[in-house]
Structure 1
Amino acid sequence: MNHSISPLASRRRVLRGAVGAAIASALPVLSNAQGADTVLRLGYIGPGKRPAAATGWALRQGLLLREVAALGIKDISTRNFPNGPDLNEAFVSGALDVGIYGDTPAIVAHSRGLDSRLIGFDAVGMNVWLLTPRGGARSVKELEGQSIGVARGSYMHRYVLGLLKEHGLQKSVKVIHMFPRDGEAALDRGSIAAFAAQIDVGPLLASRGYPVIDQAAQHPSLRGTSVIVASDKVLQARPGLAAAWTRARRSALADIQRDKEAYYAFHAEATGFPLDVVKVSHPLSQFPEAAYPAEGIALLAEVKSFLLAEKLIDRDFSLDSWRVNDA
């Protein structure tokens, strides 16, 4: 099967899973107020059995459950997803109450009708590593006429599209949908000219000898954020949820600062990545204490403007109206 797609098709099909969010209001969504109303259902992106970052530590230490218990929540169930579009589909089907994932799929889904609200950030300023096969292209310009693998609909995808635009390569480079788990094999075979890898995966592949020819860190507006989004249904049923989440994250961050090594050991165990890779990927400076840090809001505005300009979303919306003000 040929997985390559033209640049134009890539734009039209970005976040395919989120397209269904446009009809979210027409689907029967069951909130926790209807049925098993004591369990909060949390989705996240990652390979591990539990989320990491400040929310993951808050879960491990019981800080999050302590805060939401006052809202009548007795347990928190977690479910991991391979990418943002898949998490969006779970939101649409009513299978999730809260999701932690990249800014790009979250914004596309909200723009296309997903009934969701922003309640905070888990990370701000996430990097992307653009890697090539050993002996492959040595610069972005050398990718002309070739292909880049990236998980479609992710914050890495937006980085790739933005990078190609900066270099005038939108029409001459193919963008191929590829999950992070498949990137190394494709680089090893030489079936792609480059792979855009996210946190953890990027440094791991670099440590195995795959050259890095560009990083999102070199293009500040193309860095990513990990946002925390809650369904309107659960927020209506639990109006104090956003504030409780922020309190739990702040307590977790204070814990993390007191014992950084214990946190990083947990993060490595939770995700399965080597400790040195985790430390490179997740500097503690990327974990904001504020619910809505200025840098995070600015990056969200950059993402939204880019998606609108590239016609990847049709409906604009106010970031102020998207966020919950009492977080």
Structure 2
Amino acid sequence: MSINLEKPKKRSNLLSRRLFIAGLFLSLLLLQACSNAGGESTGAQTTTKANTTEAKGNVKPVLNYGFIGTNDLNLPGGPEGWGLHKGIIQEELKKHGITEVKWTGFPNGPDLTESLISGRLDLGSMGDTPSIIAYASGAKIRLITQGSTNSIGYLLGKKDGPKTLSELKGKTIAIQKGSFMHRYVVGLLNDAGITDYKLVHMLIPDAKAALARGDVDAMTNNTTQGALEQIEAGFTHLDDATKHPHLKGSGTTVASDEYLASFSDFPKVWNDARKKALADLKQHEEEYYEFIAQLQGQSVEIVKKTNPISAIKEEPFTEEGLKLLEGTKDFLVDEKLAKKNFEINDWVLR
């Protein structure tokens, strides 16, 4: 009898333990279900973002961006500079996996394109002439934005020097080789039938000093680097591109093929961020002009005259801009400044 009583007791204990474990497991399942019900949306969004990033080729967290200009703030002008200055571009790019933007100023276009070609940069903004020359030379870059179409080159003569274009025959002109100003002065003198002159490569600060000393007879410059101040100081205003619309320059932003291969949607992402920065600066026009004046070391009045907000292009490309690019490209090819001809539409990444 004692044995018969003992066995049912063991079975009862075993059954109780099994029921307890099953109940505990069921409770855990219920807790997990409740947790999922409260957090399912966040989890799904995170998964979607991760899947999207994977599909784009694992976006690199750091974007390396170059621009033309050396100033105390180490920033470009336009929506790009304003957006970086205010953090607008950084915040927009973070939504797509880019957690840091590193930017570097360069004295001229050829130096910037060299960094793009070497892989030190992913993206760069510069004048159209150096970017066209680089692409025609085989650089693996694509044009993703043409942000402006109103870059004006100036030709300035030394004091007590040449007063007309014809007086430049046999003279020495300082230019930034490979810049839109280089293209401007060569086109200008060709149109004027002047072929007997010498071009020497100098960065703008060096050219200004050389012109003041009389070491060169003329130089090219632009409004962002003080052409108007030079005229006010007594240097001869020989010509500028406002009189020759076909010789105006435009601003271009190019990205390396390697970077685009890792982030195929980047052109749209960048242009959307740029557009948001442009909309913001239009809401703060006076502050923007003060920002540009500080970048250029000029008065707000001059900035408003030479770099009006109205000249900034909202869309990445316009028919007017592409036509100007075509003319610049054809000129550079004809002058053998660009190594080979190409179709602009093959370069443009819309």
Residue 176 in structure 1 maps to residue 200 in structure 2: yes
Which residue of 221, 234, 255 corresponds with 2:259?
Answer: 234
Q: Could you say which residue in structure 1 is the equivalent of 2:221?
A: 197
Q: Could you say which residue in structure 1 is the equivalent of 2:280?
A: 255
CA deviations 1:161-196 (Å, max 9, x no partner) are 1011011112x1111111101122112111211111
Distance 1:235 1:282 in 2: 31
Question: What is the letter of the counterpart of residue 222 of structure 2?
Answer: Q
Question: What is the letter of the counterpart of residue 90 of structure 1?
Answer: S
Residue 163 in structure 1 maps to residue 188 in structure 2: yes
Residue 45 in structure 1 maps to residue 71 in structure 2: no
Distance 2:210 2:109 in 1: 22
Identity of aligned residues (%): 36
Q: Secondary structure at the match of 2:146?
A: strand
Residue 98 in structure 1 maps to residue 123 in structure 2: yes
Q: Could you say which residue in structure 2 is the equivalent of 1:149?
A: 174
Give 1:159 shift. Answer: 0.5
CA deviations 1:231-278 (Å, max 9, x no partner) are 111112112211112112222222222221110111122343343333
Distance 2:301 2:211 in 1: 22
Residue 311 in structure 1 maps to residue 308 in structure 2: no
Q: Could you say which residue in structure 1 is the equivalent of 2:112?
A: 87
Give 1:229 shift. Answer: 0.4
Question: What is the letter of the counterpart of residue 212 of structure 2?
Answer: D
Q: Could you say which residue in structure 1 is the equivalent of 2:6?
A: none
Question: What is the letter of the counterpart of residue 339 of structure 2?
Answer: D
Counterpart mapping for 1:275-314 below 5 A: 275-314=300-339
Q: Is contact 1:47-1:271 (8 Å) kept?
A: no
CA deviations 1:123-178 (Å, max 9, x no partner) are 211101111112221111111111111111110000011011011112x1111111
Give 1:316 shift. Answer: 1.7
The number of equivalent residue pairs is 292
Q: Which moved more, 1:202-211 or 1:72-81?
A: 202-211
Q: Secondary structure at the match of 1:225?
A: strand
TM-score (norm 1): 0.85
Q: Could you say which residue in structure 1 is the equivalent of 2:46?
A: none
Question: What is the letter of the counterpart of residue 181 of structure 1?
Answer: P
The structure that has the greater radius of gyration is 2
Give 1:34 shift. Answer: 11
Distance 1:69 1:322 in 2: 27
TM-score (norm 2): 0.79
Give 1:40 shift. Answer: 0.4
Question: What is the letter of the counterpart of residue 321 of structure 2?
Answer: G
Distance 1:243 1:216 in 2: 32
Could you say what the CA RMSD is over the residues aligned between the two structures, in angstroms?
1.8
For structure 1, the residue ranges without an aligned partner over 5 or more in a row are 1-32
Q: Is contact 1:103-1:224 (8 Å) kept?
A: yes
For structure 2, the residue ranges without an aligned partner over 5 or more in a row are 1-55
> Judging changes above 3 Å, is the alpha-carbon distance between structure 1 residues 42 and 110 closer, same or farther for their aligned structure 2 residues?
same
Q: Is contact 2:113-2:130 (8 Å) kept?
A: yes
CA deviations 1:290-316 (Å, max 9, x no partner) are 100222211110111001111222322
Q: Could you say which residue in structure 1 is the equivalent of 2:234?
A: 209
With CA pairs under 8 Å and 6+ residues apart, which has the higher RCO, 1 or 2?
Answer: 1
> Judging changes above 3 Å, is the alpha-carbon distance between structure 1 residues 63 and 231 closer, same or farther for their aligned structure 2 residues?
same
Q: Secondary structure at the match of 2:64?
A: strand
Question: What is the letter of the counterpart of residue 177 of structure 1?
Answer: H
